[in-house]
Amino acid sequence: MPRLNRRALLYLALLLMALAVPLYGNVYYTRFATQIAIYGMAALSVDLLLGYVGLITFGQAAFVGVGAYVTGMLTVAGIDDALIVWPAAMLVAVAFALVIGALSLRTEGFQFIMVTLAFAQMVYYIAQSLRSYGGDNGFTLGGRDALAGMSLANHTVFYYVVLALLVAVMAIAFRVVGSEFGMVIRGRRDNERRLAAIGFPPFAYKYAAFLIAAAIAGLSGALMANHSSFVSPAILSWQVSGQLLAMVILGSPGTLIGPVFGAAIYLVFQQVLSDYTDHWMIFFGPLLVARVLFIKEGVWGLLLRACGAHEVPAPGAVAPDRGAAE
């Protein structure tokens, strides 16, 4: 079977599996799958920057958190129409990204990592200072939003809405990276100077990708706030930004679907281990180190290889050094 068809079949099988989760009949699994889909969307936004533009952002939690806070604030204020609240969450996340991106994209490499981390921490402190919204303790929403009059309180309904949004975001992201714009940003990942030399201003393209990623992260934040009906500064902590990067790496960067797998692995790992021990991080930390030091490929890459659906590089092609785009 041609590799491309195998991959299409794989996508179809995965989608069917995702659709079938609520049929299992256990609300716990439906909620867990919802969580995976939401974190997967946030990780996908990191992958857009990491895998395609070559930008290592350590501050994506800022936009997730802004989306969650906007959603929480509007919902508490009585505005609970998802068609208003969620786009508003995305817009405010993009507004933050307009400022943070304009400043952080002036830097590159090592500094970009530190600057995105620092600005995310700033947003964290702002959230912490919101005393009327519980300060450090956060606040509860009192319920989920309604989508065009339809209540999302039912876990199965909410799961399908989240899944539909994830598929839609992924489809849009695939369109974006496959477009001419996508070719330009991948060109910037592989060699920014040459890209500039042939007449594409790298900053404008990086900035645009940064804003798109922030919008996706903002949406995932809105869903996160709805999922748990609770928002606190913890959602903005620097560990969350690190976890999102870890998910992308576990899954396979530069694939858009891999990060969703990475999110699943991360959350399953957390769930299984925390049954045995409160100290699961003591295992996850070294696992992350081992993944970086010893394993060259993420899970999605391994899965494609196992199904014979991986891309065979053209003879003489040089794989770009992931992330080290300078």
Partner 1 sequence: MTFALFVVQLFNGVQFGMMLFLMAVGVTLVFGIMRVINLAHGSLFMVGGYFLVESYQDTGSYWLAVPLALAGVIAVAAVLEILVLRPLYDRGHLDQVLATFGLTLFFNEAVVVIWGRVPLDLNVPSFLNGHVAIFSGVNYPVYRLAITAVAMVCGGLLYFVIAHTRLGALIRAGSDKREIVAALGVNIGLLYTAVFALGAALAGLAGMMTGPLLSVESGMGDPILILTLVVIVIGGAGSVRGALVGALLVGVLDTFSRVMLPRLFGLSAGTALVGMADYVLMAGVLVYSRTGLFAAHRG
Place of tokens 């500039």: 196
Smallest distance, partner 1 to C-beta of residue 218, A: 20
Q: Which of 29, 32, 269, 284 is close enough to bind partner 1 by CB under 8 A?
A: 284
Task: Give the tokens for residue 149.
Answer: 């009059």
Q: Which of 49, 90, 113, 217 is close enough to bind partner 1 by CB under 8 A?
A: 113
Smallest distance, partner 1 to C-beta of residue 172, A: 25
CA 148-151-152 angle, to 5 degrees, is 105
Burial class of 30 by CB neighbour count within 10 A (0 to 12, 13 to 18, 19+) = buried
* Residue number, 87 or 109, with CB nearest to partner 1: 109
Q: Which of 95, 208, 211, 281 is close enough to bind partner 1 by CB under 8 A?
A: 281
Residue 287 touching partner 1 (CB under 8 A): yes
Distance between CA 240 and CA 219 in Å, rounded? 16
CA 213-218-219 angle, to 5 degrees, is 100
Residue 50 touching partner 1 (CB under 8 A): yes
Residue 125 touching partner 1 (CB under 8 A): yes
Q: Which of 17, 282, 295, 306 is close enough to bind partner 1 by CB under 8 A?
A: 282
Residue 288 touching partner 1 (CB under 8 A): yes
CA 65 from chain centre, in angstroms, equals 12
Distance between CA 67 and CA 57 in Å, rounded? 17
Residue 43 touching partner 1 (CB under 8 A): no
Q: Which of 121, 220, 228, 232 is close enough to bind partner 1 by CB under 8 A?
A: 121
Binding-site size, partner 1 (CB under 8 A): 51
Ramachandran region of residue 237, left (φ > 0), alpha (ψ -120 to 50) or beta? beta
Smallest distance, partner 1 to C-beta of residue 295, A: 11
Q: Which of 14, 76, 118, 167 is close enough to bind partner 1 by CB under 8 A?
A: 118
Residue 303 touching partner 1 (CB under 8 A): no
User: Is residue 45 within 8 Å of 216, Cβ to Cβ?
Assistant: yes
Q: How many other CB atoms sit within 10 Å of the CB of residue 18?
A: 18
Q: Which stretch binds partner 1 (CB under 8 A): 38-46, 210-218, 276-284, 297-305?
A: 276-284
* Residue number, 14 or 273, with CB nearest to partner 1: 273
Residue 322 touching partner 1 (CB under 8 A): yes
* Residue number, 181 or 238, with CB nearest to partner 1: 238
3-state secondary structure 88-109: HHHHHHHHHHHHHHHHHCCCCH
Q: Which residues pair with 150 in a beta bridge?
A: 147
* Residue number, 112 or 160, with CB nearest to partner 1: 112
Residue 41 neighbours by CB under 8 Å, 6+ apart: 165, 166, 169, 216, 219, 220, 223, 260
* Residue number, 311 or 326, with CB nearest to partner 1: 326
Distance between CA 90 and CA 62 in Å, rounded? 12
**DSSP one-letter code for 256:** S
Distance between CA 53 and CA 55 in Å, rounded? 6
* Residue number, 293 or 317, with CB nearest to partner 1: 293
Q: Contacts with partner 1 in 231-250 (CB under 8 A)?
A: 238-239, 242, 245-246, 249
Residue 196 touching partner 1 (CB under 8 A): no
User: Is residue 228 within 8 Å of 242, Cβ to Cβ?
Assistant: no
> What is the binding site for partner 1 (CB under 8 A)?
50, 56, 58, 103-104, 106-111, 113-115, 117-119, 121-122, 124-126, 128-132, 238-239, 242, 245-246, 249, 279-282, 284-289, 291-293, 321-324, 326
